[in-house]
Amino acid sequence: MSNIAKTFNELRSSGRKGFIPFVTAGDPDLPTSLSIILKLAELGADVIELGVPFSDPMADGPTIQRSSQRSLEGGTTLQDVLDLAKNFRSRSTVPLVLFSYLNPVLRFGVERFGQEVQKAGIDGVLFTDVIEDEAAALSKSFAEYEIDLISLIAPTTTDERLGTICATARGFIYAVSRAGVTGAQASTSDAAEALVDRSRKFTDLPIAVGFGISTSEQISDVWRYADAAIVGSAIVAAIEKQPQNAVAAVDSFVRTLLPPFANGGLET
């Protein structure tokens, strides 16, 4: 059983829901990134999503765009991100999912990437711009390296596609809460709940909801109907505000998300 599956099984059997933070690797710099994700693990993250910076992040809103740009300006490469993951893995068992656009991985070489991801102890990979139709080849070579290729679903995904996507999905399913790019929103849409409900017909895999989640109220709401809540841009924004003091900034922001953890959520 994969590390991700194990984590969600444990959550389920203890009646808890998951918290999945996202940060861009190399923002504000690589050593600080390592401290940030170690802090997130310490705070009780169930899975950590690590963003690979890309020059043209078309699915991301301004916050993650700027974060990617800062990371690239600092010279972060895909190899650096893999090394960062490896460092993290030597100190923590929390599952790691790489979040990337396809091109840097194509350039790196899909086979080589698979090997390196496995070596680094990364548990899953998610591509923003690879849909199920294009994923077959990747999925095959990643399965060989025991890496879960995480599938995305969206409110616009038809039932027919949900069936196909869920049939081959591994690890957990990432449900995009609304049509749009990444970024904090005042409220989560009803679309997310409807999407999760529709997907349950097709899969028993855990479903995590992301895009636009930035408060403890929103997390509590997602936890009503889904298995985990993903928080990205809001954490990245905290880093952006205090790059010199990023670990503390993340610490204090994530603690504002903590009340729901206390309500039968995460125990740290």
Partner 1 sequence: MNYEPNEQGYWGEYGGRFVPETLVAPLDELTTGYLAIRDDPDFQAEFHDLLINYVGRPSPLYFAKRLTETLGGAKIYLKREDLNHTGAHKINNCIGQILLARRMGKKRIIAETGAGQHGVATATVCALFGLECVVYMGTEDMRRQELNVFRMRLLGAEVRGVDSGSRTLKDAINEALRDWVTNVDTTYYLLGSALGPHPYPLMVRDFQSVIGREAREQILEKEERLPDVLVACVGGGSNSIGLFHPFLNDNVRMIGVEAGGRSSELGEHAARFMDGGSVGVLQGTKSYLLQNDDGQIALTHSVSAGLDYASIGPEHAFLHDADRVEYVSCSDTEALAGFKTLSETEGIIPALESSHAVAHAIKIAPDLGKDSIMIVNLSGRGDKDINTIMEIGSN
Q: Residues with catalytic annotation?
A: 49, 60
**Phi/psi-derived region of residue 49, left when phi > 0, alpha when psi is between -120 and 50, beta in every other case:** beta
Instruction: Tell me how far apart the alpha carbons of residues 57 and 77 are, in angstroms, rounded to a whole number.
Output: 15
Q: Which is nearer to partner 1, 43 or 50 (CB)?
A: 50
CB of residue 198 vs partner 1: minimum separation in angstroms? 13
Interface positions, 205-244, toward partner 1 (CB under 8 A): none
211: closest CA among 191, 231, 193, 228? Answer: 231
CB of residue 238 vs partner 1: minimum separation in angstroms? 22
Give how far Cα 55 sits from Cα of 36, 60, 67, 77, 197, Å. Answer: 23, 11, 11, 11, 35
Interface positions, 64-123, toward partner 1 (CB under 8 A): 65, 69, 72, 77-78, 101-108
Site for partner 1 contains 169 (CB under 8 A): no
Instruction: Tell me how far apart the alpha carbons of residues 69 and 49 are, in angstroms, rounded to a whole number.
Output: 18
CB of residue 106 vs partner 1: minimum separation in angstroms? 6
Give how far Cα 56 sits from Cα of 5, 104, 125, 166, Å. Answer: 32, 11, 19, 28
CB of residue 109 vs partner 1: minimum separation in angstroms? 10
Instruction: Tell me how far apart the alpha carbons of residues 249 and 237 are, in angstroms, rounded to a whole number.
Output: 10
Token pair recorded at residue 69: 């740009």
Q: Which is nearer to partner 1, 212 or 265 (CB)?
A: 212
Pick the piece of the chain touching partner 1 (CB under 8 A) from 32-40, 117-125, 130-138, 231-239. 130-138
Instruction: Tell me how far apart the alpha carbons of residues 69 and 72 are, in angstroms, rounded to a whole number.
Output: 5
Q: Which of 129, 217, 240, 251 binds partner 1 (CB under 8 A)?
A: 129
Site for partner 1 contains 136 (CB under 8 A): no
Pick the piece of the chain touching partner 1 (CB under 8 A) from 6-14, 15-23, 61-69, 196-204. 61-69
Q: What is the DSSP letter of 52?
A: P
Site for partner 1 contains 56 (CB under 8 A): yes
Angle at CA 20, nearest 5°, toward 122 and 1?
A: 45
> If binding means CB under 8 A, how many residues of this protein chain bind partner 1?
38
Site for partner 1 contains 161 (CB under 8 A): yes
Token pair recorded at residue 55: 């020059």
Q: Which of 136, 137, 179, 262 binds partner 1 (CB under 8 A)?
A: 179
Q: Which of 20, 30, 181, 222 binds partner 1 (CB under 8 A)?
A: 181
Q: What residues line the site for partner 1 (CB under 8 A)? A: 54-59, 61, 65, 69, 72, 77-78, 101-108, 128-131, 133-134, 152-158, 161, 176, 179-181
